[in-house]
Structure 1
Amino acid sequence: MSYFELKEPPRREDRLKACIAHGSTLGAVSHRRMRCCMPDKERSFTQNSICLLLPALGTMNTIPNSLVLMHGGLGCGSSCHGGNAAVRGGNTQRWGVVKDGRWLSTGLTEAEVIGGGEPKLAEAIIEADRRYRPEVIFVVASCVPGIIGDDVNGVVEQTQPEVAAKLLAVHCEGFKTKIWATAYDAVYHAIGRTLLPDAVAEKSDKKKPGKTVNLMNMSSMGRVDEIELERLLKALGFEVNIFPVFTDPSAMQRMAEADLSISTCPTHDDYMLNHLKEKYQVPFIIRHMPIGIKNTGKWLQDVADFFGLRQAAQELIAQEEAELAEALAPLKPLFKGKKAFSSAGEFRALSTAILLAELGFEVVGIRAFHHDEFAEVEYAKLAKLTGEDYPLNIANCQPFEEANLLRKIQPDVFLGHMNGNSTAAKLGIPTHVIYNTGLHYVGYRGAYELARRLYRQLKNPRFNANLSRFVKLPYQESWYQQNPFKYIGAAGGEEE
């Protein structure tokens, strides 16, 4: 049975045996010696985490002519205020208009938590449709309805005949999973069940393959990076459709009509790509992330090989790599011998670490937010390029482990998410954001632009050095003397 026949997607702990707790060396992962990294394995002490509602909102709020209705407490969705900057920027970059995301909340009270919130949800759906007239309403289940047993899908089914908007039930009950990447599955699940055509696309065996590709972007990159990948794909003659961010709901069905789907981040895309293949016979490629020089070439070569365009791709890759090498030549001497630490979602952390090694940095540490099967080949690539004897931390945040590692390693630069660089910054380490929708990271242009920004950062690292003089982290000195993985079971810690 297809997962899409279920009311909500399975947890990644169950579907992919994903995990969030591991601490050892890169070599232990590249050789699959991860005895502590098991589904639901957790620390005996945990500091914080991320709710899967956050990345889900980051995608849903980008959909044109849509509205997000969060069913839960009033605080759920407060991150939309910060994330709205990316929505405004994305709309401006694509269409030259300043447009905000739209989100509402049922704002459940204590009485409704006790008595049930289904009547209030139905009323809110009808009022949202009447007042805003959206094409789509994402009805998002947060923790509270999951705990009290509200039947969100049932309310959606009962209310749908009364409203003009299409209703998509999205399950983001944060307590159900520790792998917040399940959020991508939740959004894709709703899109696949509601916005894609019901009929199986008929494709004749005799039909010659076309050259239309789905370029999947589940908030993996901003518009500037989309343009870079479009440039490379169009140079080989492909027609490119980008899904799902900033895609009109009525256009989502074109996902089922393409000749090939291409993942830009396997962490994000496997759930939907498997569905497109099973139901609509759209094949897919889910190897590599096009960040880094060699990874971009491999990503592009895989697409070209599918269409029998190997020679054309090789010529394009050779030309691009030659131009990039010339542009990087003045920058790379500064990077030689500099130590770098990469922290992000698993695939992004690894592919960025590979790029750092290509630029001449010494990679001395990696933190990935979770681990699953898709990144195993990336660990092998990185181990071959950089060696194996440096720390790898699988952690859904846990800044106390990060602070310990950074004090021991003392990297020259730390690359992490914009809301996750403060620990390194307070230790006086130069930091650079690993993902920002307004900056280049992907493809050959991304490799150059990241190198250029790091060059400027390392030329003048005084800001973080000065910051560390006046701002201190809350950890005792005794913690820095201990094993950073002390609280992870079977990693030399308390539970071993």
Structure 2
Amino acid sequence: MGINLAVSAAPSREQRLGSITGYDGTLKELATLGCGGCLKNKNRGFQTVSSCVHTHAINQLAGLDDTLVVDHAPIGCAGSQICFTVAKNKLPVIPGASQLHHARVFSSNITESDTIFGAVDKLKESIRIAYERHHPGEIYIATSCVSAVIGEDVKSVATEMQKELGIPVEVATAEGLRSKIWASGFDAYCHAVSRARVKPSDKRNNTINYVGFNNIGLQHVSPLFKRLGLDIICLTATATRDDFERAASSIASWGQCGSQSSYLCSALEQECGVKYFQHHLPYGGIGFERFFLDIARYIEKEGIARQVIAEEKEKYRELLDRIRLELKGKKALLAMGGSFTYEYTRILGELGIEVLHSVAYHYDPKLDNSNQDEKVASATDVFELKLNVSSSVNDAQQLETDLLVKKYNPDFILSRGHDATSYAIAQGIPAMDVDIGLIVIGYRGMAQFGVYLTEMLRNTNFTKKLGQHYVSPFTDAYENLEPFSFYEEEVA
């Protein structure tokens, strides 16, 4: 497919990848239609508030070391970033990164009069003030719905300010109206940071890149790759420009999921020749075995990889057997991001748990890498492992999730962000907001998750009592709806 870093904006996921936010059926049907290029989106006659491209572009950019973001938007658009400051300052510091600090997000504070007379001069002044206060090594300007609608020439401002300040000033096209899929915000981040930091290299070092939200769990995963002679470079929150420079010479890359990391991994592959591994993800036992062997074959160290796998499998065998015994017969419902909902579907299967239904917040039928013969990880599981489950896609339409919880009445629900767990707990059903990224890799990651799950399910008294006192705020007419009652005809 190819990524064009010469242009200032990354096309939306709907345009590039054919991604969707509306579907109900099975995972097998979803993967088959996606791989065949026949997948269509379903619109809704009614929908609730979802997340926003703008928020997710800014929170990724603001995490980078020695940088700041100028948000060319009304002040409210930057208001959600405080929660990402809290999360960022809990992360382990990457060697070489600056001391932890608040997320540096400045707003140009577009007002009603600015929408009439323009706010270009206001943007320039905001950039100057931000630079004088922090003297960052680079600045990113995030566009917004308002700046796009009034036609602000933000690219020209970036060019002018780069000459004036003598540092990279890049634009992240982060208008919320660009896409219904908030993961397009991750693409805006990846496009901007690729233009600013990804420089072609012909060198090849014994390193492998991990692109994700954070590096939590690196101390457990790094020794496994050391056995293959590879050091991990984390292109995550707090990543430095030196990290990106070294990443351009790595042997390979992988990302925590296709949603957050596909674009950057693909840029490194296209611009620098760094192989992108994306059709197997290393979560749980089966996922780790396939992924680790893929990497090992690529660098011709399959024998060492098989030895590592055998050791890890035996190390956690007894614990996993006890976990499986305790979880036998349990049934679950999942609601989380487009990659991890299916990764956890597979992991729960490894633990002997039946998944009644999985909700993905969007679905990508393909990713950005140049080899379009490689399937996305969820489709790989369908065809390699015969994985299938009742499945739907919604962009955090939690009223749909609420109806699905009522319909399936699972023993527990797993979720990732966007508060889907609250709908289960209100009904007296245990729920867990799960980990993603390095912490879930391999047999250790699966065992740790299994321990957390068994501990949660051993005592569900509080949740059950809470459910007994819950009074639904919805009408009887709503409570009796089918989960997908709001769907309209499929659209191309």
TM-score (ref. length: structure 2): 0.90
- CA deviations 1:457-489 (Å, max 9, x no partner) are 000112322222333343323334332112222
For residue 345 of structure 1, report the CA deviation from its aligned partner.
Answer: 1.0
2:414 and 2:288 map into 1 onto residues whose CA distance is: 20
The amino acid that maps onto 1:189 is: H
RMSD of aligned Cα (Å):
2.5
**Mapping of 1:64-463 within 5 angstroms?**
64-91=65-92, 98-197=100-199, 200-202=200-202, 210-217=205-212, 219=213, 222-374=214-366, 377-379=377-379, 381=381, 388=388, 390-420=389-419, 421-435=421-435, 440-463=439-462
- CA deviations 1:369-417 (Å, max 9, x no partner) are 11112475524625886864x5311000111111111101011111112
Change (3 A) 1:392 1:135: same
1:14 and 1:372 map into 2 onto residues whose CA distance is: 11
2:242 and 2:32 map into 1 onto residues whose CA distance is: 45
Contact 2:339 2:377 in 1 (8 A): no
SS in 2 for 1:138: strand
Change (3 A) 1:44 1:257: same
| Correspondence for 1:206 | none
- Give 5+ residue unaligned stretches, structure 1: 204-208
| Correspondence for 1:484 | 483
Contact 1:418 1:435 in 2 (8 A): no
The amino acid that maps onto 2:435 is: Y
- CA deviations 1:54-104 (Å, max 9, x no partner) are 322332222122212111011112221112221100155878965322211
For residue 296 of structure 1, report the CA deviation from its aligned partner.
Answer: 1.2
- CA deviations 1:331-373 (Å, max 9, x no partner) are 2212111011111111111001110111111111100011112
Contact 1:354 1:385 in 2 (8 A): no
1:440 and 1:258 map into 2 onto residues whose CA distance is: 22
1:97 and 1:121 map into 2 onto residues whose CA distance is: 28
Instruction: Tell me the number of residue pairs that the alignment of Structure 1 and Structure 2 aligns.
Output: 479
- CA deviations 1:269-320 (Å, max 9, x no partner) are 2222222222222222112222211001111111111000111101111110
SS in 2 for 1:5: coil
For residue 454 of structure 1, report the CA deviation from its aligned partner.
Answer: 0.5
SS in 2 for 1:153: helix
For residue 173 of structure 1, report the CA deviation from its aligned partner.
Answer: 0.2
SS in 1 for 2:234: strand
Q: Percent identity?
A: 25
The amino acid that maps onto 1:107 is: N
TM-score (ref. length: structure 1): 0.90
For residue 490 of structure 1, report the CA deviation from its aligned partner.
Answer: 4.0
1:211 and 1:451 map into 2 onto residues whose CA distance is: 33
1:35 and 1:394 map into 2 onto residues whose CA distance is: 17
The amino acid that maps onto 1:154 is: S
- CA deviations 1:20-75 (Å, max 9, x no partner) are 10112334224428999525x42111112110123223322221222121110111
Contact 1:263 1:287 in 2 (8 A): no
- CA deviations 1:178-215 (Å, max 9, x no partner) are 11111121111111112223xx4346xxxxx6522122
1:455 and 1:382 map into 2 onto residues whose CA distance is: 27
Contact 1:343 1:415 in 2 (8 A): yes
Change (3 A) 1:202 1:25: closer
The amino acid that maps onto 1:425 is: I
**Mapping of 1:15-26 within 5 angstroms?**
15-26=16-27
- CA deviations 1:101-158 (Å, max 9, x no partner) are 2211111111112211111001111111111111122211121101111111111111
2:484 and 2:376 map into 1 onto residues whose CA distance is: 21
